[in-house]
Amino acid sequence: MRPEHPIVLITGASSGFGEAMARLLASQGCHLALGARRVERVQALADELQKAHGVKVFAGAVDTRHTASVDTFVAEAAAELGGLHVLIANAGLASGTYKMWETPDEDLEAMMRTNVEGVVKTVRAGLPHLRKAGWGHVFFIGSTAGHQPYEGGSVYCASKFGVKAMAHSLRLELNGEQIRVTSVDPGMAETEFSNVRLKDGAKAAAVYQGVKPLSAFDVAECVRWCLMLPDHVNIDEILVKCVDQASAYKLHRRS
C-alpha cells in the first residue's frame, strides 16, 4: 500500500525534469532524495523544498555512469530518510546531432553510459529498498526518440529505445511483486536539453521557435498522476507530446 508520504529518489535533479518533479512531489508531501553531479544546486533545492513544504530532503552528489557513485548515493539516501519507495531514473542527455559514422567516442560514451548504464545502476541499487518497503514504483524517463528514430539521432535514439526495452523487461520481471513500473516518454520539451545537446544558445533557442513545447512541469505532472493512482493501477507507458508536435518529422511552427 502506498505510504502517505512516499520517499522518492530522483537522479538528474539539479534542473529540467528532475527539478520540476522534485518541486511538484514535495508539494504533494513526498520526502525526497535528490542526486546530481552539480551537488551545490541540488543542495540549494533541498534546502528550499524542506523550508517550503516541511518534507525531509536528502541531497547528494551522484554520477550515474559510475557504480560506486550510484551505490553510495542510494545507500546514504536510504539511511538518511529511512528507506525508499520510488525510483525516478531521470538522469540522461543527448550530445550532438551526428550521423552515426561521425559520432565521436566522447559523445557516444556519454549517451550510452548515462542513458542506459546509468539507469541500470540506479535501479539495481535502489530496488532492494523498494522490496524491503513492500511497495514501490520505478519510473523510467524515456523519449519519443525511443519510439521513432530520426536522422542525426542514431545513438540517442538507440539509448532511448534501450530505456523502453528496460522498462518493459522490468515490468515483466517484477510481475507478482507490489512494485509498479512506468516509462514516461516526452517529446519536445523546453529545458536545458537542447543547450547541452547543441552547445550553442542561439541554436538551442531556434529549436523551439514558433512552437509551444512541453514544460518540465508538464512531464512532472505525468509522474505525479501515475504515482498517485490506486495501488492496483499500473500505467506502463505515457507517450506525451505538445499539440504542435505530431511526430519526430511533423511539427507545426507558428509564424
Phi, psi of 140 (to 5 degrees): -100, 140
Residue 199: inside a domain: yes
Residue 24: inside a domain: yes
What is the set of active-site residues?
A: 156
Domains identified in the chain, total number: 1
Residue 254: inside a domain: no
Residue 165: inside a domain: yes
C-alpha 142/C-alpha 90 separation (Å) is 9
Cα 1 versus chain centre, distance: 24
87-101 tens-digit pLDDT: 999 999 998 889 999
Q: Where are the alpha helices (DSSP H) in 10-99?
A: 16-27, 39-53, 67-81
Tell me the pLDDT band of 255, cut-offs 50, 70 and 90.
Answer: confident
Residue 234: inside a domain: yes
Residue 246: inside a domain: no
Full residue range of the structural domain in which residue 79 is found: 7-240
178-223 tens-digit pLDDT: 999 999 999 999 876 656 666 767 776 788 889 999 999 999 999 9
pLDDT recorded at residue 1:
87
**CATH value at residue 12:** 3.40.50.720
CA quadruple 19, 198, 68, 44: dihedral sign: negative
pLDDT recorded at residue 51:
97
Residue 147: inside a domain: yes
121-140 tens-digit pLDDT: 999 999 999 999 999 999 99
pLDDT recorded at residue 193:
65
Residue 255: inside a domain: no
